[in-house]
């Protein structure tokens, strides 16, 4: 059933934006695990610990002012944990029980994102984290936000891999008739767990999202090239230009507008997902008005998806088990993603096998 996609545990997930993790405790639930995040005073390294005190299971993240240096002091009775999750102090006695520790999780800060690994820590390879360099590179400006959605994360994967919905759900914002009318090409790299879906429109209306931000008045060529690195990172390389303006033979493209739309799809719990969204551009980077327009307009677009997916989830849970879907060409990328996710879930269930 698509509204109950299992979790792939031995994978990296975006838990937060780098700017969200600091000297205040941040609580997030990832793959059903309650986690608490903060940065060390010493060198600002991000730390992720299990967010339940071993004593009476008080959520450590609800002890907001209780960082003592780099140690978390439980806000209930004062059990104190170091950055490895080891309890170093309990009240009323000298001896700290040997079992007094909470799990700590591998964390990597990269490209302005905080990535966490929930599965077998022995398999956590930071080199396997997919890159999104435009999020933290000079010459790029990014607007971003995060919306929690009450839906299975598989529904968000489906949504993002099929952009034909832009025409209907996002008409008047990013959708025009040509998006739904233009066939896609899909490429799947099963081994690397990457799905690519491309839609190149040669002569299309310019949607308000781009008309107002770029100033283009006529029709455009519009390229959408999706690169989904299962399970978490989704990149949409968007290129628009007035009709007739093509990249140079050497591949350079001084007259095209390039926008990188990034999502991190992070399962929170069954039926809950964090939808991290980012829009980056390397044009009109000094124009504050463009920045604010893209921030507001894209937030509206994201909320159209959020509302649709909340509704879809509510609807699906009332369906009898084993209901049939009907898939067509536009679903090729989404179906490939489901196959890859199913494989990653299976690999995560066998922790001795290294995920390639
Ligand atoms: S619940 Fe944390 S110290 Fe008692
Ligand atoms: Fe959408």
In the prediction, which pLDDT does 355 show? 45
Ligand 1 atom with least separation from CA of 58: 1
Distances in whole angstroms, Cα of residue 51 to Cα of each of 14, 38, 85, 103: 17, 12, 10, 9
Q: State if residue 173 touches ligand 1 by the CB under 6 angstroms criterion.
A: no
Q: State if residue 55 touches ligand 1 by the CB under 6 angstroms criterion.
A: yes
- Do residues 107 and 148 share a domain? no
20-29, 64-73, 127-136, 279-288: range with lowest mean pLDDT: 64-73
In the prediction, which pLDDT does 273 show? 98
pLDDT band at 356 (very low <50, low <70, confident <90, very high): very low
Ligand 1 atom with least separation from CA of 60: 2
Q: Which residues surround ligand 2, an ion (CB under 5 A)?
A: 305
pLDDT in tens, 257-269: 999 999 999 999 9
- CATH number of the CATH domain containing 204: 3.90.380.10
- Do residues 65 and 162 share a domain? no
Q: Are strands 33-39 and 46-50 parallel, antiparallel or unpaired?
A: antiparallel
> Quick one: what percent of the chain has pLDDT higher than 70?
97
- Do residues 172 and 200 share a domain? yes
pLDDT in tens, 132-168: 999 999 999 999 999 999 999 999 999 999 999 999 9
DSSP 24: S
Q: State if residue 27 touches ligand 1 by the CB under 6 angstroms criterion.
A: no
Q: How many domains does the structure of the chain reveal?
A: 2
Of 90, 111, 127, the last residue of a domain is 127
Cα(32) to centroid of ligand 1, in Å? Answer: 21
- Do residues 111 and 146 share a domain? no
In the prediction, which pLDDT does 14 show? 99
Best CA proximity match to 263, nearest among 252, 255, 275, 271: 275
In the prediction, which pLDDT does 3 show? 57
Of 111, 127, 143, the last residue of a domain is 127
In the prediction, which pLDDT does 350 show? 62
Report the phi/psi class of residue 44: left, alpha or beta, with left for phi > 0 and alpha for psi in -120 to 50: left
Q: Cα(44)–Cα(158) distance, rounded to whole angstroms?
A: 37
In the prediction, which pLDDT does 192 show? 96
- Do residues 284 and 142 share a domain? yes
Of 127, 156, 181, the last residue of a domain is 127
Instruction: Compute the mean pLDDT over every residue in the chain, rounded to the nearest whole number.
Output: 95
Domain that includes residue 206, residue range: 134-348
- CB 121, CB 106: distance < 8 Å: yes
């Amino acid at each position: 059933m698509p509204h109950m996609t299992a979790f792939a545990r031995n994978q990296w997930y975006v838990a937060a934006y780098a700017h969200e993790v600091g000297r205040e405790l941040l609580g997030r639930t990832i793959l059903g695990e309650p986690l608490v995040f903060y940065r060390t005073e010493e060198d600002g390294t991000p730390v992720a610990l299990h967010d339940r005190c071993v004593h009476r299971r008080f959520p450590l993240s609800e002890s907001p002012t209780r960082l003592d240096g780099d140690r978390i002091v439980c806000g209930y009775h004062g059990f104190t944990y170091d950055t490895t999750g080891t309890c170093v102090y309990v009240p009323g006695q000298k001896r700290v029980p040997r079992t007094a520790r909470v799990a700590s999780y591998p964390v990597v800060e990269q490209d302005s994102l905080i990535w966490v690994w929930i599965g077998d820590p022995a398999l956590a390879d930071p080199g396997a984290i997919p890159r999104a360099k435009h999020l933290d590179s000079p010459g790029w400006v990014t607007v971003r936000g995060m919306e929690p959605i009450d839906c299975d994360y598989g529904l968000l994967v489906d949504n993002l891999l099929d952009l034909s919905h832009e025409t209907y759900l996002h008409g008047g914002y990013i959708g025009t008739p040509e998006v739904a009318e233009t066939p896609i090409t899909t490429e799947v790299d099963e081994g690397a767990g990457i799905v690519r879906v491309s839609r190149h429109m040669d002569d299309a209306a310019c949607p308000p999202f781009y008309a107002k931000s770029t100033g283009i008045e006529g029709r455009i060529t519009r390229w959408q090239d999706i690169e989904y690195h299962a399970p978490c990172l989704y990149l949409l390389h968007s290129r628009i230009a007035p009709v007739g303006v093509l990249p140079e033979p050497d591949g350079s493209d001084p007259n095209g507008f390039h926008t990188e739309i990034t999502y991190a799809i992070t399962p929170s719990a069954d039926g809950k997902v964090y939808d991290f969204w980012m829009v980056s551009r390397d044009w009109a980077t000094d124009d504050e008005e463009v920045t604010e327009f893209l921030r507001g307009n894209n937030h509206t677009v994201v909320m159209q998806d959020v509302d649709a997916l909340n509704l879809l989830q509510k609807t699906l849970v009332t369906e009898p088990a084993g209901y049939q879907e009907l898939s067509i060409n536009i679903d090729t990328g989404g179906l490939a993603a489901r196959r890859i996710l199913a494989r990653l879930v299976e690999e995560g269930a066998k922790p001795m096998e290294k995920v390639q």
